[in-house]
Amino acid sequence: MFTLNDIPMFLVNFFIILPIVTLVHEAGHVLIARLFGGKVKFCIGTGRTLFQIASLEVRRKYFMEGWCQYEKLTYNKTWAHVAIYLGGSLFNLIVILIINYLITSNMIPVTLFFYQFTYFSIYFIFFSLMPFRNDDGRPSDGMAVFDVLRYGKSADPID
């Protein structure tokens, strides 16, 4: 049952953990795209731009969503595009495995923060790989993989 005592953790989840999970996800796309020589721009949030650091743009509603856009791959093959689209979920999975390893090795404590971080990471993986298009017509990562395999095209930006 949700009570007033749960509000602080809800705020931590919404304004800290979820944006970090989003950043990890987008970093996966960015790293894989850069490995294939792509020029990359990525963003956390929606609305007006708050600030920009190199190719990362942070927007006013930083807790809402994220995207990554790449172009000019040096190695422009179908499987490179598939790897880029799957890179976000792969990074989320790697971080989950690292957290679990650190907890089982008693290197970090079992806390609600890490539990929630893992929960939101699994949520991100699940919905990112589900093939669908949002209201703007942008594909999820799963739909982008489907498009690349079926039509041989990339679908930027990456969500």
Span 17-39, pLDDT tens digits: 999 999 999 999 999 999 999 99
pTM for the complete prediction? Answer: 0.90
Q: Is residue 86 part of a domain?
A: yes
Q: How many domains does the chain have?
A: 1
Burial of 148 (0-12, 13-18, 19+ CB in 10 A): buried
Q: Is residue 69 part of a domain?
A: yes
Q: pLDDT digit string (tens) for 89-119? A: 999 999 999 999 999 999 999 999 999 999 9
Q: Is residue 141 part of a domain?
A: yes
Q: Is residue 10 part of a domain?
A: yes
Q: Is residue 23 part of a domain?
A: yes
Nearest to 38 by CA among 69, 67, 66, 79: 69
Q: Is residue 157 part of a domain?
A: no
With 70 as the cut, is the pLDDT of residue 154 above it? no
* Residue 79 three-state SS: helix
Q: Is residue 34 part of a domain?
A: yes
Tell me how crowded residue 32 is: count the other CB atoms within 10 A of its CB. 24
- What is the average per-residue pLDDT within 32-59? 94
pLDDT score at 87: 98
Mean pLDDT for the chain overall = 92
Tell me the residue range of the domain where 125 lies.
Answer: 4-151
Q: Is residue 156 part of a domain?
A: no
pLDDT score at 135: 86
pLDDT score at 62: 86
